[in-house]
């Protein structure tokens, strides 16, 4: 586990569904109807109330689905967290389809929604770096810089966790940042 930004950013290894933080972030897809990876784990462990809340959002605010880069909040069902913030990252298509901007927007809009909601502690998975194929070494400094900018301007969230399911992916993140000497 490493700490950055005066201890306000912590990098940890584990399963996001087990975390007792105010909000966990879901790397959702635009349908908000669940999927594989971390999305599947959150809906499976959290139970049906999360899907019910997502259906409400689809029926009222986002009839065509949640656009990539946007974020919405629901309850967290049976999970130890209080809320789930669902955001949609970019599908990696080689880097010329605004993938970097969309990844930045997903983290930035999630942090802004957390701030508006009064959230103190939040945990992010490595959005888009699974099935969506965003290169992990490229994502690390992007994610770090968006969080750094947000935390320099806002007092909430007080603490941000980046949680990696695998030790290897956590180390890729840490090593990429140390090479960049951020």
Task: Tell me which residues touch ligand ADP (CB under 6 A).
Answer: 15-17, 27, 37-39, 41, 89, 125-132, 163, 165-166, 169
In the complex, least distance from residue 28 CB atom to ligand ADP, rounded to whole angstroms: 8
Nearer to ligand ADP, 39 or 99 (CB): 39
Look at residue 38 and give its three-state secondary structure. helix
In the complex, least distance from residue 123 CB atom to ligand ADP, rounded to whole angstroms: 8
Nearer to ligand ADP, 86 or 159 (CB): 86
Q: In what order do the strands lie in the sheet with 83-88?
A: 2-4, 9-13, 159-164, 121-124, 23-28, 83-88, 71-75
Residues annotated catalytic, as ranges: 39
Question: Is 23 within 8 Å of 85 (Cβ atoms)?
Answer: yes
Question: Is 106 within 8 Å of 147 (Cβ atoms)?
Answer: no
Query: What backbone phi and psi angles, to 5 degrees, belong to 175?
Result: -70, -35
Nearer to ligand ADP, 154 or 166 (CB): 166
């Amino acid at each position: 586990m490493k700490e950055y930004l005066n201890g306000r950013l912590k990098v940890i290894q584990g399963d996001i569904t087990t975390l007792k933080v105010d909000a966990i972030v879901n790397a959702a897809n635009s349908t908000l109807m669940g999927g594989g990876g971390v999305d599947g784990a959150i809906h499976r462990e959290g139970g049906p109330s999360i899907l019910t809340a997502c259906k409400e959002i689809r029926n009222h605010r986002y009839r065509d689905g949640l656009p990539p880069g946007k974020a919405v909040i629901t309850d967290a069902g049976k999970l130890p967290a209080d809320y789930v913030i669902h955001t949609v990252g970019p599908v990696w298509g080689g880097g010329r389809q605004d993938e970097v901007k969309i990844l930045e927007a997903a983290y930035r809009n999630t942090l802004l929604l957390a701030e508006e909601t009064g959230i103190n502690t939040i945990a992010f998975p490595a959005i888009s770096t699974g099935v969506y194929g965003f290169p992990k070494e490229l994502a690390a400094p992007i994610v770090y810089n968006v969080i750094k900018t947000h935390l320099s301007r806002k007092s909430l969230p007080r603490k941000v966790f980046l949680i990696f399911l695998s030790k290897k992916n956590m180390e890729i993140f840490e090593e990429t940042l140390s090479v960049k000497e951020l």
